[in-house]
Amino acid sequence: MNMNRRAMLVRTAALAGASALGFPMIGRAAGASYTYGGSAWLGHYSAYIAMKTGLFAKQGLDIKWQSFATSSDRMSAVMAGNIDLAGTGVVSSLALMAAGARQFQVIATPNNFGRAEGVLVRDNVKSVADLKGKKIGVTYASSAHVLLLDVLRQAGLNPDRDVSIINLPATNLLSAYQGAQIDAAVAWTPAFDRIKAVPGTRVLLDDTAFSLYKEYAITPGPDVLLTHAKLGKDNPEAVRKFLQAVFQANAMLSNQPEEAAGVLLELTGLSREEQLAVIKQTQWYSGEDQKALMVDPGNFVNGMQKLAEMLVSLKQIDRAPTVKDWVQSSYL
């Protein structure tokens, strides 16, 4: 089972040389369109708001949106040169870093979402120890997967022997849980909120239970923003303007959550009440916050390094990359 999990996590690493295989990068001329890879996950709220409210346009950017079901799929598109900018859970990018891929740069972290992801259980499960013998649904190669492996280890449970971990796309977790195909689910919003609303269900724990959260305030798969390295080289000003618009959107999320919620409903399908709750329970980083996170003292970068080392111990990647070598703070 460990080998299967590792295969799911690092399958995008095989595309590390994809840009050398003739995949065309999207146009780079002044005023050209750039494609952003996103999803309904909250790590993409900032970019979606910036696109829908004209913040990108005010920066002179034409940003197109392309949705992906998982971070692994999104990173495959980055590696192939089919998208220019992206948000992603850092787990899939760490796998590519471990494989030596240099086609992307980490340029910022948009948020801290510690309470929008977690383990959802029936009322009769009171502790992680009670999961023994249970079927648990989770999306492999995701932050939820890392959270599950970590809390099982903390409780002294072996993921290969003591529980049955079922690999499911995030979009299938709710139906599997409702149909009793799984006893528990590990999910992120919006699936997290939808499963939580099922009668007789409660949150056993969220990302604040993760081993690295207390010291580094880092979740099992924190959100990062990426640029394709070629775009960063050819048009660094476009990357800077992209980040400026993202941080303006974060200011809306922090200071005008009701307005932001209205913009996001079409993306997420949540009710207005659910959407507002997700926004308010998330910390939205400003441009000013990025210096301490990414540069001086670089707490977030240090946390990503610790996470990479944890992934090695969890047998999810073979070696820990030097994460700072992929961080490019010059666009901030």
Residues 6+ apart with CB under 8 A from 40: 67, 190, 267, 268, 269
> How many C-beta neighbours within 10 Å does residue 126 have?
10
Q: Which CATH architecture has domain 32-113+221-326?
A: 3-Layer(aba) Sandwich (3.40)
The tokens describing 265, both together, are 């409903």
Superfamily of domain 117-216 in the CATH hierarchy:
Periplasmic binding protein-like II (3.40.190.10)
3-state secondary structure (DSSP) of residue 104 = strand
Question: Which segments within the chain are labelled E, that is strand?
Answer: 33-38, 62-67, 85-89, 104-108, 111-112, 117-122, 135-138, 164-167, 184-188, 201-206, 223-228, 283-284
**Whole-model pTM?**
0.85
Q: Per residue of the chain (332 residues), what is the pLDDT tens digit?
A: 333 445 444 444 444 443 333 333 444 444 579 999 999 999 999 999 999 999 999 999 999 999 998 888 999 999 999 999 999 999 889 999 999 999 999 999 999 998 999 999 999 999 999 999 999 999 998 899 999 999 999 999 999 999 999 999 999 999 999 999 999 999 999 999 999 999 999 999 999 999 999 888 899 999 999 999 999 999 999 999 999 999 999 999 999 999 999 999 999 999 999 999 999 999 999 999 999 999 988 999 999 999 999 999 999 999 999 999 999 999 99
* 117-216 and 32-113+221-326 share a CATH fold: yes
Where exactly are the structural domains of the chain? 32-113+221-326, 117-216
